[in-house]
Structures are given as structure tokens and as C-alpha cells.
């Protein structure tokens, strides 16, 4: 941790967002054109800002920066390599959940502030979705932290030196990945913007800089949840021969590609069914996962 | 954190916390009130963090976001005027509630001033997580469980009372559209 860390994290956020956009092109089956991503972004920034007519315009203007801050803080908690991470708190795993928890109010603020019926509907859909999925996400993080006996993400990576957590706790991984995709607004959980039914939903009114910030924040979110998945379940930077940072980049890239690929293959889920799954299956299962994590810790990690 | 950094985070955070807390009661919109309360209580997490209480700060940030979003959701769902377009007022029974608020504020202020706070300086990552864990799972477990169950009963009861027909489930009178089916 030095004075340069914030700049390194910002560079990682911008470069990572660009890389995620390129992976998106590759998964979509179009020719990968890194320059095109930048040109599209520049074109978007040229557009004028849209201003909503309602009285809550300040919520509309505040939502994109809040989403971006939440995404960057979540990214900063991910342990990228031994000794390199944005914030190295002993409670880093909780800070990750806390940063992701601010995605929900920012999406709601975007929808409510824009004031259109589809935008408000998108905001409310996302609140309903996250009420069900935020809890399993935070609970699974504690289950993974139990063997490490620490909430420091780097310690959770180090405890996986022999066996990756996805083999030790497969149920935890099975709960974490869908919840992480939901919070990162990825298809098939993209109910808040749902381009084909709500025409952009909560984000439908945004243009120009606003839209650019939201697109950037969403790509950083994808990178953050994929990085955390790689760190918590796939042993992070640990691996033979290659340097740690390369291993972490490969695993994160694979998770990003897997998540985006799943989003292209699966149809968007219906909100009511997702909520039934979240409340009746995922949350009780997450409690079971925590109990199991305690047993595993006592039996194998002591 | 150095003293200067602490002061630079603490005083602006505390000021924003108070101002947003005040504006919760100045606005007429339920959505705005809930989000202002989220701002106030979330920024309180920054105050904790600036005072080197890492675990409480991060937990405050996490819990308040979830709780206040739920509150916004329920307030918008239950209130007749969630957007504050018909001039609803956030304050009720003004004289008595002002007296109670002033009394509580004075009592809490007196406690804060009169308490002999420990003078030790906490530096670095405080080992408070383990202590909080033993406190919650040990001596204080009963009171936490009691508080949790009370809140759960209050939530279920509140939803039952607010739903159409109240706790007896009386169907809506003829001619009045039901919430579930009436809206186009």
C-alpha cells in the first residue's frame, strides 16, 4: 500500500473495463475490436445530457456517480496479487458486500429520478431482486471466510494453497455466482434494464456522460465480482509456474467470459420465479452452507 | 490514519450526516426521505471508519444500505402519497414530538458530556471483530434474539395491518378497485 495505490486501482478499473468490453465482443461472436470500444465511448460522451422533468432530478444525477463509486470500491477490495490490493482491511470481505449493497440504491435512484413508468418499474424490480439475493451473497462470503478464520480476502486466498474453495464448498460457489451476476446487473438477471422488455428500464433516460459512467461502472462491477469469485473460490493468485498476477488475470478472465457466455445462452428469468428461488431455496441453503462451513473448518482446517 | 486525515474525514462526514438527517423531515417525498436517511446513516459508517472502528464502520455501511432500501420500498408501497406531490407532511403531533425530541437530545447530550471516556488512542486495525463476536454470541445473545424477534413480529404485523382489509382480511368493498387487480 503506497501513495500510488489509488492510481493503480483507477488504472485497473479503466483497463479492466476495456478488457471486459472486449471479452463481451468475443462472447457475442463479433470480431474483437478494442479500438471500436474506445470510439463508441468517445461518441457517447459527445451526446448532450438528458435532464428529467420530475422533481427528483438530483437523484437522477447522483445515481451514476454512486454506482461508479460502489463498483470501484468493490474492485479495490479484491486481492489481485500478494501485496497488491486497493484497500487491505481485516474486514475486506464485508467491505466488498457493503460496496455492492450500494448498487441497489443507485439503481433505484436512477429509476425513480428519471420518473418514467418503465424506469421506476426497473428500479423497483431491482430492489425486489436484491432483497432476495443480497443476503445469500453476504452469507456465502462468511462461509468462505470461516476456513481462513479471517475476513481479509488475501487470507482467504492463502488458505486455498492446497485445495481451491470451489472443491471444498461447491454449494457456496453455486449460491455465490448467480447472486454475484444478479448484483452486477448481468443477463439473465438484468431485470433492472432488460433492454428487450423495459427498453433500458432504470437506465433508459440516460444519455451522454451519464450513460458512459453507467456503462463504465457496470463493466467495473463485472470485473469486481469476477475477480472476487476467482479469489474466493478458485484460489486467486495461487498456481504453478506462472507469476501470481498472471494466474489471477487468467482466472478472472475465465470467470468474466463464463458469466457473459451464460448471459447470452440463458433467457432472462422471470422476477416472480427468481424471488421464489431466492427466498425459499437460496437463503435457507445459505444458512446450511454456513453450518457446513463451520463443520469443514473444525474437521479439516484446524 | 494521521490526526489530520481523521479530522478531514470526521468533521465533513459528521456535518453531512446531521444535515441529511435534518432534511429527512423537511422533504415531503417518501423516496427522498428514505434515501436521505440512507445518506445520513451510511455516512455515519465513514465516521466510524475515521475513528479507526473498522468493523463497525464497514458493517454500518452494509446494513444501512440494505435496511434503508427496504424502508424506501415499503414506504413507497404503503403510503398514499409516496412522491410527496400532494403536500403530505413528515411531522405529526408537532408540539409534543418536538418536546420529546428536545428532551431525548438533551439527555443523550448530557450522557455524552458526562461520561468519563477512556483516553487510550486506538491505532491500526483494532481486534474488535472477535470481541464483538463473543459479546453477541455470549452475554448479549438473549437480548439480541429478543430484539430480532420483536422486529420480525413488528414487520409481519405491520404488513398484515397495512394490507387491504386489515388483519381480518376483509375483502375490499364493492366499487373500490383492489390493489392487486385494479391497476391497469
Whether residue B65 and residue A98 make contact (CB cut-off 8 A), yes or no, is: yes
Give pLDDT, residue B167.
54
Give pLDDT, residue A91.
84
Write the secondary structure of chain B as one string of H (helix), E (strand) and C (coil): CCHHHHHHHHHHHHHHHHHHHHHCCCCCCHHHHHHHHHHHHHHHHHHHHHCCCHHHHHHHHHHHHHHHHHHHHHHHHHCCCCCCCCCCCCCCCHHHHHHHHHHHHHHHHHHHHHCCCCCCCCCCCCCHHHHHHHHHHCCCHHHHHHHHHHHHHHHHHHHHHHCCCHHHCCCCCCCCCCHHHHCC
Distance from CA of A260 to the nearest CA of B (A): 27
Residues 6+ apart with CB under 8 A from A286: A135, A136, A139, A140, A143, A175
Residue B164's pLDDT band, with cuts at 50, 70 and 90, is low
Give pLDDT, residue A140.
92
> Which positions in chain B touch A109 (Cβ < 8 Å)?
35
CA distance B20 to B43: 10
Q: Which of B31, B35, B54 sits opposite A91 (nearest CB)?
A: B54
Higher pLDDT, B124 or A69: A69
Give pLDDT, residue A13.
87
Most confident of A218-222, A274-278, B72-76, B171-175: A218-222
Residue A150's pLDDT band, with cuts at 50, 70 and 90, is confident
**CA distances to B42, B49, B52, B53 from B6, in Å:** 17, 9, 9, 12
Mean pLDDT value of segment A127-156: 88
Whether residue B62 and residue A97 make contact (CB cut-off 8 A), yes or no, is: yes
Q: What is the pLDDT of residues B97-145, one digit of tens each?
A: 889 999 999 999 999 999 888 877 666 555 667 777 888 888 889 998 9
Searching chain A, which residue's CA lies closest to the CA of residue B52? Answer: A89
Distance from CA of B110 to the nearest CA of A (A): 33
- Interface check for B66 against chain A (CB to CB < 8 A): the answer is yes
Q: Which of B66, B72, B73 sits opposite A101 (nearest CB)?
A: B66
- Interface check for B72 against chain A (CB to CB < 8 A): the answer is yes
- Interface check for B125 against chain A (CB to CB < 8 A): the answer is yes
> Which positions in chain B touch A101 (Cβ < 8 Å)?
61-62, 65-66
Mean pLDDT value of segment A74-86: 83
Q: What is the pLDDT of residues B24-41, one digit of tens each?
A: 888 878 888 888 999 999
Classify A269 in phi/psi space as left (phi over 0), alpha (psi -120 to 50) or beta: beta
Angle at A105 between CA B147 and CA A129, to 5 degrees: 80
Query: Which of A108, A137, A272 to mutate: most B Cβ within 10 Å?
Result: A108
Residues 6+ apart with CB under 8 A from B47: B9, B10, B13, B14, B17, B57
Q: What is the pLDDT of residues A163-213, one digit of tens each?
A: 888 888 899 999 999 999 999 988 788 877 776 777 777 787 787 888 888
Residue A224 has pLDDT above 70, yes or no: yes
Report the range of poorest mean pLDDT among A12-16, A207-211, A281-285, B12-16. Answer: A207-211
Mean pLDDT value of segment A100-121: 87
Query: Which of A98, A120, A122, A294 to mutate: most B Cβ within 10 Å?
Result: A98
**In the A/B pair of chains, how many CB contacts fall below 8 A?**
67
Decide if A179 contacts A300 (C-beta within 8 A): no
Whether residue A105 and residue B32 make contact (CB cut-off 8 A), yes or no, is: no
> Which positions in chain B touch A97 (Cβ < 8 Å)?
62
Query: Which of A94, A154, A275 to mutate: most B Cβ within 10 Å?
Result: A94
Give pLDDT, residue B176.
53
- Interface check for B110 against chain A (CB to CB < 8 A): the answer is no
Q: What is the complex's ipTM, to 2 decimals?
A: 0.83
- Structure pTM? 0.86
Residue A1 has pLDDT above 70, yes or no: no
Give pLDDT, residue A72.
92
How many residues can be counted in chain A?
A: 302
Searching chain A, which residue's CA lies closest to the CA of residue B125? Answer: A90
Whether residue B35 and residue A59 make contact (CB cut-off 8 A), yes or no, is: yes
Distance from CA of A134 to the nearest CA of B (A): 8
Q: What is the pLDDT of residues A9-47, one digit of tens each?
A: 888 888 888 888 888 888 888 888 888 888 888 887 888
| Average of per-residue pLDDT values in chain B | 80
Query: Which of A101, A103, A179 to mutate: most B Cβ within 10 Å?
Result: A101
- Interface check for A109 against chain B (CB to CB < 8 A): the answer is yes
> Which positions in chain B touch A56 (Cβ < 8 Å)?
29, 31-32, 83
Query: Which of B1, B48, B65 to mutate: most A Cβ within 10 Å?
Result: B65
Give pLDDT, residue A230.
92
Cell readout for A106 is 443507485
What percent of chain B lies above the pLDDT cut of 70? Answer: 78
Distance from CA of B67 to the nearest CA of A (A): 10
Residue B43's pLDDT band, with cuts at 50, 70 and 90, is very high
Secondary structure of residue A84 in the 3-state scheme: strand
Give pLDDT, residue B1.
54
Decide if A51 contacts A57 (C-beta within 8 A): yes
Give pLDDT, residue B182.
42
Higher pLDDT, B90 or A294: A294
- Interface check for B33 against chain A (CB to CB < 8 A): the answer is no
Residue A153 has pLDDT above 60, yes or no: yes
Whether residue A94 and residue B38 make contact (CB cut-off 8 A), yes or no, is: no
Give pLDDT, residue B66.
86
Q: Which of B45, B58, B69 sits opposite A105 (nearest CB)?
A: B69
Residue A112's pLDDT band, with cuts at 50, 70 and 90, is confident
Amino acid at each position: 500500500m503506497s501513495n500510488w495505490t489509488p492510481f493503480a486501482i483507477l488504472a485497473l478499473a479503466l483497463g479492466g473495463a476495456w478488457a471486459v468490453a472486449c471479452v463481451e465482443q468475443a462472447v457475442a461472436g463479433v470480431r474483437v475490436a478494442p479500438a471500436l470500444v474506445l470510439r463508441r465511448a468517445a461518441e457517447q460522451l459527445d451526446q448532450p445530457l438528458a435532464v428529467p422533468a420530475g422533481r427528483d432530478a438530483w437523484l437522477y444525477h447522483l445515481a451514476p456517480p454512486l454506482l461508479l463509486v460502489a463498483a470501484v470500491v468493490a474492485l479495490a477490495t479484491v486481492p489481485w496479487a500478494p501485496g497488491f490490493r486497493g484497500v487491505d482491511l481485516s474486514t475486506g470481505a464485508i467491505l466488498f458486500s457493503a460496496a455492492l449493497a450500494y448498487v441497489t440504491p443507485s439503481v433505484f435512484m436512477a429509476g425513480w429520478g428519471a420518473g418514467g413508468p418503465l424506469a421506476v418499474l426497473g428500479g423497483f424490480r431491482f430492489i425486489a431482486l436484491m432483497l432476495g439475493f443480497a443476503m445469500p451473497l453476504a452469507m456465502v462470503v462468511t462461509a468462505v471466510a470461516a476456513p481462513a478464520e479471517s475476513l481479509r480476502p488475501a487470507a482467504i486466498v492463502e488458505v486455498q494453497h492446497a485445495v481451491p474453495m470451489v472443491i471444498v464448498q461447491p454449494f457456496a460457489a453455486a449460491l455465490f455466482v448467480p447472486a454475484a451476476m444478479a448484483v452486477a446487473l448481468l443477463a439473465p438477471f438484468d431485470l433492472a434494464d432488460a433492454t428487450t422488455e423495459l427498453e433500458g428500464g432504470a437506465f433508459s433516460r440516460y444519455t451522454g456522460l451519464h450513460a458512459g459512467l453507467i456503462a463504465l461502472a457496470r463493466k467495473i462491477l463485472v470485473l469486481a465480482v469476477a475477480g472476487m469469485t476467482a479469489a474466493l473460490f478458485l484460489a486467486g493468485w495461487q498456481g504453478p509456474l506462472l507469476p501470481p498476477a498472471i494466474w489471477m488475470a487468467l482466472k478472472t478472465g475465465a470467470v468474466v467470459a463464463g458469466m457473459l457466455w451464460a448471459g447470452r445462452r440463458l433467457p432472462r428469468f422471470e422476477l416472480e420465479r427468481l424471488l421464489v428461488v431466492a427466498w425459499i431455496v437460496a437463503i435457507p441453503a445459505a444458512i446450511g452452507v454456513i453450518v457446513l462451513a463451520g463443520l469443514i473448518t473444525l474437521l479439516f482446517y484446524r | 490514519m494521521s490526526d489530520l486525515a481523521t479530522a478531514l474525514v470526521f468533521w465533513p462526514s459528521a456535518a453531512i450526516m446531521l444535515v441529511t438527517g435534518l432534511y429527512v423531515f423537511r422533504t415531503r417525498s417518501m423516496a427522498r426521505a428514505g434515501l436521505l436517511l440512507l445518506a445520513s446513516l451510511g455516512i455515519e459508517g465513514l465516521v466510524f471508519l475515521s475513528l479507526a472502528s473498522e468493523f463497525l464502520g464497514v458493517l454500518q455501511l452494509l446494513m444501512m444500505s440494505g435496511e434503508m432500501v427496504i424502508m424506501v420500498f415499503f414506504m413507497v408501497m404503503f403510503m398514499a402519497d409516496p412522491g410527496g406531490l400532494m403536500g403530505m407532511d413528515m411531522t405529526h403531533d408537532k408540539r409534543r414530538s418536538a418536546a420529546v425530541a428536545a428532551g431525548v437530545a438533551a439527555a443523550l447530550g448530557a450522557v455524552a458530556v458526562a461520561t468519563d471516556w477512556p483516553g487510550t488512542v486506538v491505532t491500526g486495525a483494532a481486534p474488535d471483530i472477535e470481541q464483538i463476536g463473543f459479546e453477541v454470541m455470549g452475554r448479549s445473545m438473549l437480548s439480541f434474539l429478543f430484539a430480532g424477534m420483536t422486529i420480525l413480529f413488528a414487520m409481519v404485523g405491520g404488513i398484515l395491518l397495512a394490507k387491504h382489509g386489515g388483519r381480518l382480511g376483509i375483502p375490499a368493498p364493492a366499487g373500490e378497485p383492489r390493489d392487486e387487480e385494479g391497476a391497469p
